Structure 1
Amino acid sequence: MENDNKAHEEPEQEWPYLDVHRHLRYWKMCIRAPLPHVYLSNESNRLALAYFIVNSVTLLTPPPSKRTPETPEPLISREDKRAMRKWVLHHQHPTGGFCGTSSLVFPLNSYDTYNFDTKTLDEPDHAGLANITSTLFALQLLALLADEEDEAAGENVFEGVNRVGTLRFLKSLQREDGSFGEALSDLPGHGRFIAGGYDMRYCYIATAIRWILRGDVKEGSPGWVEDFDTEALARYILNSQTYDRGFAGNSQDEAHAGYAYCAIAALTLLDRPLTSTSSSSSSSSSVPHKSPLLHSSIRDLPGLIHWLASRPFVYLEPPPPSADQDPDTYIYQEDDLDDPNFLLPPTPSDLLCLLSQTAEKKGHDKTHVAFNGRTNKVADTCYFWWVGGALANLGRLDSLVDREAARRFLLEKMQHRIGGFGKSPGSPPDLYHSFFGLAILGLLGDEREGGKVRGFDAGLAVPRETVGVIERARRKLIESEKGGKGVVDGGKELDAVEMGLELRGGGERPKWLGACGY
Structure 2
Amino acid sequence: MDNNDTEAPVLDGCDQPKAQEEEPEQEWPYLDVHRHLRYWKMCIRAPLPHIYLSNESNRLALAYFIVNSVTLLTPPPSERTPETPEPLISREDKKLMRKWVLHHQHPTGGFVGTSSLVFPLRDYDTYNFDTKTSDEPDHAGLANITSTLFALQLLALLADEEDEAAAENVFEGVNRVGTLRWLKSLQREDGSFGEALSDLPGHGRFIAGGYDMRYCYIATAIRWILRGDVKEGSPGWVEDFDTEALARYILNSQTYDRGFAGNSQDEAHAGYAYCAIAALTLLDRPLTSTSPSTKPQPHNSPLLHSSIRDLPGLIHWLASRPFVYLEPPPPSASTDPDTYIYQEDDLDDPNFLLPPTPSDLLCLLDTLQKEKGKQVNVAFNGRTNKVADTCYFWWVGGALANLGHLDELVDREAARRFLLEKMQHRIGGFGKSPGSPPDLYHSFFGLAVLGLLDHEGERGKVRAFDAGLAVPRETVGVIERARGKLIESEKKGGKGFDEKQTVRGKEAVEMGLELRGDGERPKWLGACGY
Report how far residue 35 of structure 1 moved: 0.4
Q: How many residues align?
A: 509
Per-residue deviation, 1:338: 1.4
CA RMSD for the aligned pairs? Answer: 7.1
Shift of 1:113: 3.5
Please tell me whether the aligned partners of residues 75 and 463 of structure 2 are also in contact (alpha carbons under 8 angstroms). yes
CA displacement 1:331-382 (0-9 Å, x = unmatched): 211222412111011100010001112222323xx11000000001000000
Q: Is the CA contact (8 Å cut-off) linking 1:313 and 1:351 kept in structure 2?
A: yes
Q: 3-state DSSP class of the match of 2:17? A: helix
Question: Which residue does the alignment assign to 1:243?
Answer: 256
Measured at CA, do residues 10 and 355 of structure 1 come closer, stay the same or move farther in structure 2, by a change above 3 Å?
farther
User: What whole-Å deviation, never above 9, does each CA across 1:209-231 have from its counterpart, x for those lacking one?
Assistant: 00000001111111111100000
Separation in structure 2 between the aligned mates of residue 131 and residue 158 of structure 1, nearest angstrom = 18
8 Å contact kept, 1:240–1:251: yes
Contact 1:90 1:499 in 2 (8 A): no
Q: Say whether residues 1:505 and 2:517 are aligned partners.
A: yes
CA 1:301–1:109: 2 relative to 1, 3 Å = farther
1: CA distance, partners of 2:326 / 2:528: 64
1:442-473, Cα deviation, whole Å (9 max, x unpaired): 00011233420000000000000000000000
What is the distance in 2 between the residues matched to 1:4 and 1:183? 43
The one-character-per-residue Cα deviations of 1:225-254 (angstroms, maximum 9, x if unpaired) are 110000000000000000000000000000
Does the CA contact (< 8 Å) of 1:238 and 1:298 recur in 2? Answer: yes
> Structure 1 stretch 473-482 or stretch 206-215: which is displaced more?
473-482
How far did residue 121 of structure 1 move? 6.6
Q: Is the 8 A contact 1:285 1:395 kept in 2?
A: no
Q: What do residues 5-35 of structure 1 show as CA deviations (whole Å, max 9, x unaligned)? A: 9999999994521000000000000000000
Call closer, same or farther: CA 1:448–1:380 in 2, change over 3 Å: same
Q: Which residue of 2 aligns with 1:122?
A: 135
Give the superposition deviation at 1:97.
0.4
Q: 1:185 to 1:427 in 2, by over 3 A?
A: same
**CA–CA distance in structure 2, aligned partners of residues 46 and 516 of structure 1:** 18
In structure 2, the CA distance between the partners of 1:476 and 1:102, relative to structure 1 (3 Å rule), is: same
Which residue is equivalent to 1:490? Answer: 504
Alpha-carbon distance between aligned partners in 2 of 1:36 and 1:507, rounded to the nearest angstrom: 20
Map 1:137-176 onto structure 2 (within 5 A). Answer: 137-176=150-189
What is the rounded CA distance, in whole Å, between the counterparts of 1:446 and 1:430 in structure 2?
24
Deviation at 1:401, TM superposition (A): 0.2
Query: 3-state DSSP class of the match of 1:44?
Result: helix
Q: Structure 1 stretch 498-507 or stretch 13-22: which is displaced more?
A: 498-507
Contact 1:63–1:148 under 8 Å retained in 2: yes
* Alpha-carbon distance between aligned partners in 1 of 2:132 and 2:512, rounded to the nearest angstrom: 16
Partner of 2:478: 469
What's 1:320 paired with?
A: 330
Alpha-carbon displacement from aligned partner over 1:22-56 (angstroms, at most 9, x marks no partner): 00000000000000110000000000000000000
Q: CA deviation at 1:128?
A: 4.5
For residues 429 and 523 of structure 2, the distance between their equivalents in structure 1, rounded to whole angstroms, comes to 47
SS at match of 1:313: strand
1:178 alignment counterpart: 191
Match of 1:355 in 2: 365
Cα 1:322–1:176 shift into 2, 3 Å? same
Which structure 2 segments of 5+ residues have no match?
A: 1-14, 497-501
Answer yes or no: is the 8 Å Cα contact 2:169–2:482 preserved in 1.
Answer: yes
CA contact (8 A) 2:29 2:420 kept: yes
Compare the two structures and name the one with the higher helix fraction: 1
Tell me how far apart the structure 2 counterparts of residues 8 and 35 of structure 1 sit (CA, whole Å): 25
| 3-state SS in 1 of match to 2:379 | strand
Instruction: Classify the secondary structure of the residue corresponding to 1:9.
Output: coil
Q: Which residue of 2 aligns with 1:298?
A: 308
Give the match's secondary structure for 1:192.
strand
Query: Deviation of residue 288 (structure 1)?
Result: 3.5
More displaced, 242-251 or 351-360? 351-360
Structure 2 Cα separation of the partners of residues 53 and 64 of structure 1: 20
Identity across matched positions, percent: 91
Shift of the 75–121 alpha-carbon distance from structure 1 to 2, 3 Å rule, reads: farther
Deviations 1:496-516 (CA, angstroms, capped at 9, x unpaired): 799799999999999999999
Aligned CA distance change for structure 1 residues 335 and 125 (closer, same or farther; 3 Å): closer
List per-residue Cα deviations over 1:257-291 (Å, max 9, x = no partner): 000000000000000010134xxx79786423110
Mark the CA change 1:5 to 1:164 in structure 2 (over 3 Å): closer, same or farther: closer
In the aligned structure 1, how far is the partner of 2:46 from the partner of 2:16? 57
Asked if structure 2 preserves the Cα contact closer than 8 Å seen for 1:128 and 1:184, the reply is: no
* 1:300-343 Cα shifts (integer Å, max 9, x gaps): 00000000000000001101353554433332112224121110
State yes or no: 1:261 paired with 2:267.
no
CA distance 1:427–1:515, shift in 2 (3 Å)? closer
Q: In 2, are the aligned partners of 1:133 and 1:202 still within 8 Å (CA)? A: yes
Deviation of the 1:109 alpha carbon? 8.5
Question: Would the alpha carbon gap of residues 438 and 334 (structure 1) be closer, same or farther in structure 2, given more than 3 Å must change?
Answer: same
Contact 1:95–1:126 (CA under 8 A) maintained in structure 2: no
Q: TM-score under structure 1 normalisation?
A: 0.88
Query: 2: distance between equivalents of 1:166 and 1:32?
Result: 31
Q: Match of 1:8, SS? A: coil
CA gap 1:235/1:120 in 2 versus in 1, 3 angstroms: closer
- 1:321, 1:327 within 8 Å by CA — same for their partners in 2? no
8 Å Cα contact 1:160/1:490 also seen in 2: no
User: Compared with structure 1, are the counterparts of its residues 84 and 503 closer, same or farther at alpha carbon in structure 2 (3 Å cutoff)?
Assistant: closer
The separation in 2 between residues aligned to 1:28 and 1:70, in whole angstroms, is 19
1:119 to 1:83, Cα distance in 2 relative to 1, 3 A: farther
Partners of 1:421 and 1:429 within 8 A in 2 = yes
**Structure 1, 115-124 or 152-161: larger mean CA deviation:** 115-124
Say if 1:415 and 1:501 are closer, same or farther in 2 by CA, change over 3 A.
Answer: closer
1:35 and 2:48 correspond: yes
For residues 256 and 240 of structure 2, the distance between their equivalents in structure 1, rounded to whole angstroms, comes to 32
Q: Match for residue 395 of structure 1?
A: 404
Query: Please, which moves more after superposition, 477-486 or 233-242?
Result: 477-486
